[in-house]
């Protein structure tokens, strides 16, 4: 049976991804920070800001079922605000989880994925395709993820490992609610309205459901997607189509 390792598995998107793979008959190994817990899969807590823990987590994940067929990087942090007010700690946390962890989880998983002809699916963002004003740190981290995807795809193609990224717009998750709480001021609904106002759908604009993103992740992990590598798949209602 095929095995997937999902980081950020306790979050709204991570949970949806775990559930989609479980529904498809895959064994799921779920990881997230030690104070969280994923509702689906074999659970391995790890601090993704600690490279030693990352390597131990991947090694443990591969021993549970004896193989690894896909890694999905769903762990992510958001921040926003003026760049001249950014702290070093803020930069380190966001870039550490969004980009550095994605790199080192992939690095540790490569030999195992080569053995199965497996794949890596990164969760990037529309901010990994285009810059978002007021979110330079997040945009830098996700832009790095998108280009890391391309670079790893080229490097690993001769070894039979595919690497792709999914670039969603805003997703209806606890992370988005926290984003509105922390950065939306006194009126989170006004914050949501501001986000939706950038979408080309106008009054029809809405946020993505986690399952919509999980479905694309699922597809990219399948043998039917064998010809797809090095791609950044936008799922953003056309938000980035005009760049």
Calculate the dihedral angle through the C-alpha atoms of 140, 169, 222, 149, rounding to the nearest 10 degrees. -10
* The pLDDT of residue 25: 97
What interhelical angle do 12-23 and 210-220 show, nearest 10? 50
Tell me the three-class secondary structure of the chain, residue by residue: CCEEEEECCCCHHHHHHHHHHHHCCCEEEEEECCCCCCCCCEEEECCCCCHHHHHHHHHHHHHHHCCCCEEEECCCCCCCCCHHHCCHHHHHHHHHHHHHHHHHHHHHHHHHHHHHCCEEEEECCHHHCCCCCCCHHHHHHHHHHHHHHHHHHHHHHHHCCEEEEEEECCECCHHHHHHHHHHCCCCHHHHHHHHHCCCCCHHHCCCECHHHHHHHHHHHCCHHHCCCCCCEEEECCCCCCCC
Sequence length of the chain is: 243
State the Cα–Cα distance between residues 144 and 129, nearest whole angstrom.
Answer: 10
Q: Which pLDDT does position 155 carry in this prediction? A: 98
Report, as residue numbers or ranges, the catalytic residues: 138
pTM (2 decimals)?
0.96
- At 142 the pLDDT is 98
* Token pair listed for 198: 């950038």
pLDDT of residue 61: 97
The structure tokens listed for 205 are 């604009």
What does pLDDT average to in each consecutive run of 10 residues of the chain (243 residues)?
A: 97 97 98 91 97 98 97 96 96 98 98 98 96 95 98 98 97 92 88 94 96 98 97 96 82
φ, ψ at 171 (rounded to 5°): -115, 140
For residues 148 and 102, the answer to whether their CB atoms sit within 8 Å is: yes
The predicted pLDDT at position 242 comes to 81
**What domains are there in the chain, each with its CATH number?**
3-171+209-230 (3.40.50.720), 173-207 (no CATH)
CA atoms of 166 and 197, how far apart (whole Å): 22
């Amino acid at each position: 049976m095929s095995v997937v390792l999902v980081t950020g598995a306790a979050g709204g998107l991570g949970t949806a991804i775990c559930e989609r793979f479980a529904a498809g008959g895959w064994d799921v190994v779920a990881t997230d920070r030690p104070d969280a817990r994923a509702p689906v899969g074999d659970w391995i807590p790890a601090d993704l800001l600690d490279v030693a823990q990352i390597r131990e987590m991947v090694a443990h994940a591969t021993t549970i079922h004896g193989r690894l067929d896909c890694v999905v990087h769903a762990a992510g942090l958001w921040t926003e605000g003026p760049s001249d007010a950014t702290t070093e700690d803020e930069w380190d946390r966001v870039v550490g989880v969004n980009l550095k962890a994605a790199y080192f989880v992939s690095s540790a998983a490569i030999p195992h994925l080569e053995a199965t002809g497996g794949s890596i699916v990164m969760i990037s963002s529309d901010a990994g395709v285009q810059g978002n004003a007021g979110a330079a740190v997040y945009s830098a981290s996700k832009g790095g993820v998108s280009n890391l995807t391309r670079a790893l795809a080229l490097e690993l193609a001769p070894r039979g490992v595919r690497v792709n990224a999914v670039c969603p717009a805003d997703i209806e998750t606890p992370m988005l609610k926290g984003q509105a709480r922390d950065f939306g001021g006194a009126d989170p609904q006004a914050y949501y309205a501001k986000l939706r106002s950038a979408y080309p759908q106008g009054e029809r604009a809405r946020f993505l459901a986690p399952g919509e993103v999980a479905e694309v992740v699922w597809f990219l992990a399948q043998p039917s997607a064998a010809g797809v590598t090095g791609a950044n798949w936008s799922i953003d209602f056309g938000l980035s189509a005009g760049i």
